[in-house]
Every structure is written in C-alpha cells, then in structure tokens.
Structure 1
C-alpha cells in the first residue's frame, strides 16, 4: 500500500543538520508512527512521504520554512530576573513552559544572563535549520475512522 492522506505510517529515520551531525534517530528504538496528511509531522517531510511504500528508503532535505520555520526575533526577549521568582538558581540552557502573546503554551530557553537581566528564546530549537532526513518506510495501513476523526494514531 502506498502512503496517502489518512494512512497510518511507520518509519525509521535519522535526522541530521547540514553538516551531517545527527540530531535525532529512531534507529535504536521503535519506529515513528503517525497519521499522514493531518500535520502530525513537519510539512516538508509529510509531502515527501506521499506515494512511498513499505521498504522504500529515501533522503529528504527540508528547508527551514517547511520544517520548524525561521527564527522569529519577536520570540527572543530580555526580562528582569525577578520574573523568575520561584527559581532559585537560573542558568543558561534551562527550559520553562510559558504563555505566548496569543495565550498558547510555549517552551522557552534561557540563552543569556547578564546581571539582573535574563534573555529567553521561544523559537523551536530547530527553527532556521535545514533538515536532512534519511527515511525507511516500515509499514503503511489505512487509518481507522476513529483515528481520522481524532487526528492521530491509536
């Protein structure tokens, strides 16, 4: 069966950056399982999956705008250390759940501390990064009506 919208797909993948450094891989674990065509994976890879079938192996280079998007400078903000009132020891690299200006939950990372000022970045860690995927299609099946209705694999 070929991959089309509303099929359940299992893949093994290795994700690398443009320099070939491995960012993530399913090679030593379970395959990634997702419902095709509903935005469960990044748009560029979802498009590349169409018409593939079990056993297919391919490489896909996904531009940042078709992956996690470009860096948004508005998501980098400097605020007073006092805004982190409940945190005793604040360090670069710490991650926090916050609320975007639209009221949506967002993960932010502390990227700089300068005295009483803390700079956070709400961009996805892979925003602005060209993504290189090596993919092997493991299985494809029709989604159940419930999976299609719920928008994810059960």
Structure 2
C-alpha cells in the first residue's frame, strides 16, 4: 500500500512555525500546542503555499519561504485609516503597536494595529501584520485526509 500524499483534494493537519528572514518567529502552532487544519482547494491558501506542500507525506517536514505576494500580500495604503479619538472607548489602550478588534458593517471583527496617535487622530493599520514580508514556513505534516 502506498503512502498517502497531499494533493489538491486533501485536508491536512500540520504543525508549523512562521519565521521572518532575521529568524524571528512570528507564529507557531507548536508553541500553542494545537495543530492547524488546512484544506487545499478551498481558496484559503495561496497557490504558492499549496504548491509547496503538495506531494508531502505524513511525518514529512519541509522548510520553504514565500515572498509577500504569495504569503500575506503586499502592504496596502488603503488599509490604513485615520479615526477620531471619540470613536474609541475612553479607557481604550491607544498605545502604538496595540492590536484591537474592530466591528465591520457585516457584523464580523477584524484586527487593527494602532500605528500613531496625534491629537484627536488615531492611525489604525488594517493590513495583515505580516503583509509586505517574506516569510519562512517550517512545516510538519501530522495527518492527511483525502476529501471526497
């Protein structure tokens, strides 16, 4: 019986670390002790990411890098907004670097990073924190399920 490999109709359970080129670990499923479940072909993963893991087998480890457009996208200046301080709770932490949840018109929440506070203007960056960065994945396949 041949080993099952990751294909375009696979759901995979993996542990991964996401690193920046300087070695900083930006995210880690290992640190949280909870593997990630990824579904190939559902549009949630970039084509480059899917291509990098296709053909891997259970137990296999792989290290690969993705440039910004194939990882979390380029930084988009349209995702930076200037809001009036009165739109925040009086006790909100508006320190630079603070990540806050913001409600969208459709009832979902999105994270925004406070970038600057100038008078009554609060600059909020809604770009993904890793947008514009080359990232390195250190990935281990824990299990593969072939979807029908």
Residue 7 (structure 2) aligns with: 4
Q: CA offset at residue 111 of structure 1? A: 1.2
Residue 99 (structure 1) aligns with: 104
> Are 2:58 and 1:45 aligned?
no
Among 16, 24, 27, which residue is 1:21 paired with? 24
Residues 39-78 of structure 1: pairs in structure 2 closer than 5 A? 39-78=43-82
Q: CA 1:81 to 1:42, structure 2 compared with 1: closer, same or farther past 3 Å?
A: same
- Number of equivalenced pairs: 142
Q: CA offset at residue 105 of structure 1? A: 5.2
Q: CA offset at residue 65 of structure 1? A: 0.6
- 1:9 and 1:34 in contact (8 A); partners too: yes
| Structure 1 portions without partners, runs of 5+ | 146-154
Whole-angstrom CA distance in 2 between matches of 1:123 and 1:131: 16
Whole-angstrom CA distance in 2 between matches of 1:12 and 1:89: 35
Q: CA offset at residue 4 of structure 1? A: 0.8
Q: CA offset at residue 42 of structure 1? A: 4.2
RMSD of the alignment, in Å?
2.3
TM-score, normalising length: structure 1: 0.80
- 1:4 and 1:37 in contact (8 A); partners too: no
Residue 128 (structure 1) aligns with: 132
TM-score, normalising length: structure 2: 0.83
Q: CA offset at residue 39 of structure 1? A: 2.6
- 2:64 and 2:137 in contact (8 A); partners too: yes
